[in-house]
Amino acid sequence: MKKAFVSAATIAAALSAGSAFAADLPNRKEPAYIPPPPPPIWTGFYVGLNAGGTFDAGGSDYISTGSVFVDHTVTSPATAAAAAAAGTGLVDTNNGGFIGGGQVGYNYQFGAGGWNAWVVGLEADIQGVAASTSTSNLATGAPFTPFYGIVGTAQVTKSLDYIGTVRGRIGWLGTPTLLLYGTGGLAYGGVNSSTSMVQGITPLLATVTPNAWGGAGSYSDTRVGWTVGGGLEWMFMPNWSAKVEYLYYDLGSATYGGGLTSTFIAATGAPIFLNATATSVRYNGHILHAGLNYHFNWLAPAPVLSKY
């Protein structure tokens, strides 16, 4: 009995000593692995190409005609006034065409890693416009007396030769590689327009020649305005992204003279009336294009590596 008690005591002591020794051993269990956030792949410079289409907002071009001289010995002021009213109206020059060009910019990514992060940047682009000239005709006519009337025609052309922008961008990353952004800033473009008009009195009177005198005018300039829009950009492989973008631009309005229109006395060649024509055109429209960018990431910070 005594031997059994001693043996039990010996075993208990050994177990207690083993537990104490095990408690003194170093714990080699490593902390849970927390992956580092994705690197800011959008930060840095980029350059690319784009192509798409543009179309005019339309409905805002206008021809106005006013009387500047009437020979009261031949006709009344109402004749020139009727011709002026007939030569006034809206013209529909909805020009548009294919566009293609390039862009360059810089992005800076900040926020919670690659998901739910933000990107801000600045982009400049320029595009040439092909086949953008639009022509619209305005038929003019007004009855004046049972013996004669006012007839004529006007033609207006308008074109956008190129369009460029300098814009800020701000966007949100739904995933590390998918950017949804809004954009806005300055727009500029090379524009042209021309107007020609012929007006006269119908040759129902023997003293009036049917050959009326027409006038013409033109306008050409580089205009500056504003633009706003948005897009979606996808980093589909390292350093390469593709985007789809919509922009509305407004380069303002321009007014230019269209010369004089007149009808002459057949015998003397003296003018019966002189009317002056002016044309107002507005350059605003929509751009929808796709682009491809290469990202240099020159100024992107180096990724932070965890140390263990």
* pLDDT 10s digits, 128-174: 998 767 777 666 665 555 555 667 778 888 889 999 999 999 999 98
The enclosing H or E element of 107 equals strand 96-111
Question: In whole angstroms, what is the distance from residue 33 CA to residue 292 CA?
Answer: 37
Q: Of all residues in the chain, what percent carry a pLDDT higher than 90? A: 41
Output the pLDDT for position 83.
Answer: 74
* pLDDT 10s digits, 266-295: 667 677 778 888 999 999 999 999 999 999
27: which 2 tokens? 């714990």
* pLDDT 10s digits, 215-247: 889 999 999 999 999 999 999 999 999 999 999
The pTM assigned to this predicted structure is 0.78
Domain locations in the chain as residue ranges: 52-91+99-295
Question: Which whole-number Å values give the CA distances from 170 to 13, 44, 121, 249, 277, in the listed order?
Answer: 72, 14, 7, 18, 46
Quickly state the pLDDT bin for 303 (edges 50, 70, 90).
very low
**Mean pLDDT to the nearest integer, 93-101:** 87
* pLDDT 10s digits, 63-82: 888 888 887 777 777 777 77
